Amino acid sequence: MTEIGLARPVRVLLVEDDDGDALLVDELFADADLEVDLVRARTVADALVHLDVDCVLLDLGLPDSEGLSAVERILALPNAPALVVLTGLTGTDMGVTALAAGAQDFLVKHDVDPDTLARSVRYAVQRRLLDVQARTIYRSEIRAVETARLEHALLPTPSVVDPRLAVHVGYLPGGNGLLGGDFYDVVERPDGTVMCIVGDVAGHGPDEAALGATLRTAWRTLVLAELPEEQILPLVERVLTNERARPETFTTLCQVVVAADRASASLYLAGHHSPIMLGETSRAIEAECRGPALGIPVDLAWRAQHVELGEAWWLMLYTDGLLEATLLDQASGADRATATERGAEPRGAARLGLEGLLEAVDAEFRLGTEGFVGRLLHHVRDAHGGRLVDDAAVLLLGWAGPSGDGGGQRSATLADSAEWS
């Protein structure tokens, strides 16, 4: 670590009511091998408004403090500077007590010389910086653990037994790179039906992420409890209305129930986009029974739409972060640069939309299904020119038919590594 004091003067606040002692400290610094900017306060109250310094030299015999109360008052503040107790009181007990209260060092005024004072201040500042760095690292580690827990709640491992069913999932965080309220899940029931979901909580932030995790967990619980498929969305909506922080929060959702014979599926749409059937020319399934988003107070139910899948098929569920990506090459140069830097949508740029997404799907599908989800997310992100404005989740299911060669592929892509930054 670079030694403090070599690059710039150390800012020191002397809290001392005695003019003679203050002059002594000033002379000690003048003779010390340490460049300082020294300011003075006569009371603790005055010191508390001048704490934009690197180190505080604190006398314990101030008129508005008693004992170690001044130490406690200063160190109780957020981002408190390093603190060295400099007092006329002798004895080791007071020094040990001051250090236990959080001071970095303890000096007796009439036993200190210029070198001792300079060394004490320099090391106190360095120790304080190390403490701050250690706390920052600790908080980062805690956040990483919490993020991992949230990722598991939002982005679980699909629970599929059928070895011939391919399942590929992917998540691309938007905006600031933190997880938002998009979620997905896949669960195979004992009767062989496979239930899938993708959802998108309106908004982007920790509240939406927590709510998305709650809804995803509630959905899986209801599926594992083997409730009839038509009863699941109403119950998930009840969870939403009870758990949301604001009454205007809603969630769009797509639920697909693949039959045990894999030849057909039931489709439930709650204000969400239809899945895409992949093929030589991919197409979105035409929605016939679209219902309202969860949390919207309208008297409408969610009805199942029967979908014939065929003997072999690939089906993609996704959230609207893909559709809302912009075509950056259609924006002006200045808008393009600003948008790329801020992770925002540039002015004057058209959105990718369903047509653009289908073109991207076809282009990547022609390269094969292995790695398809990651390539598609890269394709959309590159078209946007950087981090998407909104999160994007993708769930791809595939069935090669009863006599299809090989087992079903499985993969998961969480696009939060350095290569995506």
Q: What is the 3 state secondary structure string of 215-242?
A: HHHHHHHHHHCCCCHHHHHHHHHHHHHH
Per-residue model confidence (pLDDT) at position 283: 96
Q: What is the mean pLDDT of the chain?
A: 85
Instruction: Give the whole-angstrom CA distance, residue 43 versus residue 61.
Output: 10
CATH number attached to the domain at 155-420: 3.60.40.10
Per-residue model confidence (pLDDT) at position 338: 44
Instruction: Give the whole-angstrom CA distance, residue 331 versus residue 349.
Output: 5
Per-residue model confidence (pLDDT) at position 388: 84
Instruction: Give the whole-angstrom CA distance, residue 325 versus residue 307.
Output: 28
Is the pLDDT at 243 greater than 90? The verdict is yes
Is the pLDDT at 347 greater than 60? The verdict is no
What homologous superfamily is domain 10-138 in, according to CATH? Answer: Response regulator (3.40.50.2300)
Instruction: Give the whole-angstrom CA distance, residue 114 versus residue 121.
Output: 11
Per-residue model confidence (pLDDT) at position 330: 55
Residue 11 DSSP symbol: E
Question: Is 58 strand, coil or helix?
Answer: strand
Of 88, 82, 81, 84, the residue nearest 24 (C-alpha) = 88
**In the chain, how many H helices and how many E strands?**
10, 17
Higher model confidence: residue 157 or residue 211? 211
Instruction: Give the whole-angstrom CA distance, residue 399 versus residue 253.
Output: 23
Is the pLDDT at 60 greater than 60? The verdict is yes
- At 384, list the tokens: 């946007």
Contacts of 252 (CB under 8 A, 6+ apart): 199, 200, 202, 270, 271, 272, 293, 294, 319, 320
Per-residue model confidence (pLDDT) at position 143: 61
Is the pLDDT at 123 greater than 70? The verdict is yes
12-21, 338-347, 350-359, 367-376: segment of lowest average pLDDT: 338-347
Instruction: Give the whole-angstrom CA distance, residue 381 versus residue 400.
Output: 29
* Phi-psi group of 10: left, alpha or beta (phi > 0 → left; psi -120 to 50 → alpha; rest → beta): beta
From the number of C-beta atoms within 10 Å of its C-beta (0-12, 13-18, 19+), residue 46 rates as middle
What is the model's pTM?
Answer: 0.65
How far lies 202's CA from each of 20, 76, 185, 321, 324, in Å?
65, 39, 18, 11, 14
Higher model confidence: residue 386 or residue 249? 249
Higher model confidence: residue 216 or residue 8? 216
Based on C-alpha coordinates, what's the Rg of the chain?
31
Spell out the alpha helix ranges (H) of 10-113. 19-30, 44-47, 69-75, 92-100
Q: Which helix (H) or strand (E) holds 194?
A: strand 194-201
Q: What count of residues does the chain have?
A: 421
Is residue 186 very low, low, confident or very high in pLDDT (cuts 50, 70, 90)? very high
User: CATH 3.40.50.2300 occupies which residues in the chain?
Assistant: 10-138
Per-residue model confidence (pLDDT) at position 355: 94
User: CATH 3.60.40.10 occupies which residues in the chain?
Assistant: 155-420
Per-residue model confidence (pLDDT) at position 404: 64
Contacts of 111 (CB under 8 A, 6+ apart): none
Looking at residues 145-150, what average pLDDT do you find? 59
Of 256, 249, 241, 319, the residue nearest 289 (C-alpha) = 256
CB atoms within 10 A of CB 250: 22
